[in-house]
Structure 1
């Protein structure tokens, strides 16, 4: 969490901005403070000493002193007695605090500074949480049908937790079907368990001291956890409209991959990295950024640079390009035959979806086609229409569009990469053909086609 002392315009703006992303408490004068969503507001009648104020019971990620409302002779000294490890920043000269000059920095620049601190402190919070309990039973949960980013992150978390003396189990729902994913699990010898039944999940949760969500942030949405489950740690890079529940929340959309976030966590631990984990994380970053060409940011570059000392390129190549199955080739054949282009929108319906992970391969393959701005490959499986969407348009946010349209289903994602699984009942359909036709109509209406 963040702690702000002040009630001027800058204090309120920063509290409001932080509140949309993390926990924050602002302590200021009652006459100046205004209501804000997702912000803990402490309104003081006048300036006072720290021991008179209602302070948080957790160590802040950072402390900002933006107005002189603390009456102690040495506020920084008093704050350090309470929270010795929390960075203290101030916009005015105060002994012991890091100065942020408002004349040189705008609120945006301060936000960038806080992001940097938050990344380091957030990773540190994960490690601190994992060291609170000795020899714990840790449950690492991936989203359904885990991709290389989720698999790599789970492997890294298992390495971290076992190195700290815990016992760790990795679980997932759905299937591991993509040839790269299967090869990755086999070659890296990732111990991962598929869970199907509700009682299995309940039994695992009851036995676990620490539950960790990786590459997703909300239990019950495209994962096997019950909706009411509150995990201990959440690590994800996908944006979320609502703040996830949990003890430690490390959700950072500025990262292009959860593997980059896990690398950041490993950087801030004293656990030794190895080539198996580093190679997996590098592959997770590569696949989620489509070979470093999609949403690849400075934080991802830093993570990859740090991992480079341990990456085994020969090992990486062994699961980077495994042979495609005949099922995948059949899906490609049908997708290419059915694909229709209309006003920049290419829809590729597939009637026989024997391998759901082939959808993403089809979408990635078709996007570079001439005059194509959006590609959506979709097909029916087990009473749901599975979607995989790609876009090269800077004006659209695929994830937000799909999540707003299919509120009951599980749909969403990033600006240029998204997906979903929409149940037949939301489409008001009973048969596979009806569902495909209905989805074709909906997608054409959403994205501007005329079918």
Structure 2
């Protein structure tokens, strides 16, 4: 039986020409109908409830009585003019019947949306030809979660503003992790811009070296002022902020007992105890520069070309051009920064020359590699620039059969270890902590590092003995942490 044919009186012989057809006018269908009408779209609503149809007509909607499961539902409609059909009743079986009818009798070019109560029916409807399957509870939850994220961002922005208001006319040290990379430097620069907007004087402070040729080019081309920890008295500052690191003394040279004002970081903290007046740590985000970009937006602080270039480059390098540890927030921040950036500078940053030491370390890493299953470990011996290690680890990860690469080298006082992994079973950051200690190692699942004091090894009689002992200790600790007891020849 076709209820549609009985209900249409003035247009019995005419064909109805809607742009959008909505089948089912419950709360979900009616809300969408209101939105479409406000957008000036032509539409027609079908519902099996006669009283509801009458109410819709009183509100000037074009509505007809019809059952979603009726195979003759479309008989009096000119479906050639349909831009979209939305099957939104609460009866999933009726929706499936309507979908089957539409995909049999209507052009495949018509965009078809169907409502499903769960993922199982969603998959079935997709297989039946629905272009989009929606689950109202999931849509509501997503919308709510986005609203909560916006509210949380506003709350964080307000709290950071209040903190800066409380330290006006005071001197701030913005401390990065040791041997800072572009993400750390860009994040520190962004926080310096925020401090300046509140009339707070600040310095960016680091310990170690800016050795990687890309990092040197980054600082030089953008003219970023940095101060070495050894050249200043950190306790002379009124307040301390930490960016891209979160624990005093862990991969930075801050005293363990120094009070911290602000911590902004994206690295997982594990079991470490974090203490500061303001803390924002987001391990799901791929770069600290992303977090700082969001603050600049929330606080309506102008981002000039120099800062935009620094932040965009920081995000791109820490996410490996959005191929590693990337969140939608990173993509959103990069999209915002892209038109503001100096692309000539970005091009120069992306093509720095390779230093002789980098080439030497890469050669040592290849020659000294030890392969145990899918793990590759390489001791490159004495190094001057620790930034050569992650470059070597990145390169070695491309070798056939290798899922995790570990490259380590020795300075006069420290053992530096860098790792990369594409094995979904291995969380490299956790492995580094288990192998070399909570305060010595850490990072993300796919990229991590550690640095440990030479300690007892420094008593070795000669350099070769030292390097051999270091090699045995690092390899043994790492393999133990990943559950491999013996090296396989």
Is 1:182 matched with 2:213? no
* Alignment correspondent of 1:4: none
Displacement of 1:253 in angstroms is 0.9
8 A contact 2:435–2:480 mirrored in 1: no
> How many angstroms apart in 2 are the aligned matches of 1:427 and 1:412?
22
What is the aligned counterpart of 1:130 among 164, 168, 182? 164
Is 1:379 matched with 2:409? yes
Q: Following superposition of structure 1 onto structure 2, how do residues 19-418 of structure 1 map, counting pairs within 5 Å?
A: 114-196=148-230, 200=232, 203-206=233-236, 208-241=237-270, 242-407=272-437, 410-418=440-448
Displacement of 1:427 in angstroms is 7.2
Q: Secondary structure at the match of 1:227?
A: coil
8 A contact 2:181–2:215 mirrored in 1: yes
> How many angstroms apart in 2 are the aligned matches of 1:301 and 1:124?
24
Displacement of 1:205 in angstroms is 2.6
Displacement of 1:321 in angstroms is 2.0
8 A contact 1:409–1:426 mirrored in 2: no
Deviations for 1:180-238, whole angstroms, at most 9, x for unmatched residues?
111111111110011227xx4xx3333x2332100001111111111112211110001
* Alignment correspondent of 1:437: 472
Deviations for 1:67-117, whole angstroms, at most 9, x for unmatched residues?
xxxxxxxxxxxxxxxxxxxxxxxxxxxxxxxxxxx9779999977764453
Displacement of 1:307 in angstroms is 1.1
Moved more, 103-112 or 286-295: 103-112
> How many angstroms apart in 2 are the aligned matches of 1:127 and 1:184?
29
Displacement of 1:248 in angstroms is 0.7
Paired residues in the alignment total 345
Q: Secondary structure at the match of 1:131?
A: helix
> How many angstroms apart in 2 are the aligned matches of 1:333 and 1:215?
31
> How many angstroms apart in 1 are the aligned matches of 2:316 and 2:457?
35
Deviations for 1:9-57, whole angstroms, at most 9, x for unmatched residues?
xxxxxxxxxxxxxxxxxxxxxxxxxxxxxxxxxxxxxxxxxxxxxxxxx
8 A contact 2:153–2:298 mirrored in 1: no
8 A contact 1:217–1:244 mirrored in 2: yes
8 A contact 1:353–1:381 mirrored in 2: yes
8 A contact 2:287–2:314 mirrored in 1: yes
> How many angstroms apart in 1 are the aligned matches of 2:142 and 2:444?
23
> How many angstroms apart in 1 are the aligned matches of 2:269 and 2:140?
26
> How many angstroms apart in 2 are the aligned matches of 1:282 and 1:224?
27
> How many angstroms apart in 2 are the aligned matches of 1:138 and 1:168?
4
Displacement of 1:129 in angstroms is 1.4
> How many angstroms apart in 2 are the aligned matches of 1:104 and 1:326?
55
> How many angstroms apart in 1 are the aligned matches of 2:359 and 2:380?
12
> How many angstroms apart in 2 are the aligned matches of 1:103 and 1:363?
45
8 A contact 1:127–1:265 mirrored in 2: no
Structure 1 unaligned residues grouped into runs of 5+? 1-101
8 A contact 1:257–1:300 mirrored in 2: yes
> How many angstroms apart in 2 are the aligned matches of 1:324 and 1:159?
32
Q: Secondary structure at the match of 1:174?
A: coil
Moved more, 398-407 or 276-285: 398-407
Scaled by the length of structure 2, the TM-score of the pair is 0.66
Q: Secondary structure at the match of 1:196?
A: helix
Instruction: Quickly say closer, same or farther: Cα 1:422–1:409, change in 2 above 3 A.
Output: farther
Displacement of 1:380 in angstroms is 0.9
Q: Secondary structure at the match of 2:481?
A: helix
> How many angstroms apart in 2 are the aligned matches of 1:216 and 1:353?
24
Q: Secondary structure at the match of 1:117?
A: helix
Runs of 4+ in 1 over 6 A off after TM superposition: 102-112, 426-429
Q: Secondary structure at the match of 2:166?
A: coil
Displacement of 1:305 in angstroms is 1.3
Structure 2 unaligned residues grouped into runs of 5+? 1-135, 461-465
Displacement of 1:296 in angstroms is 1.0
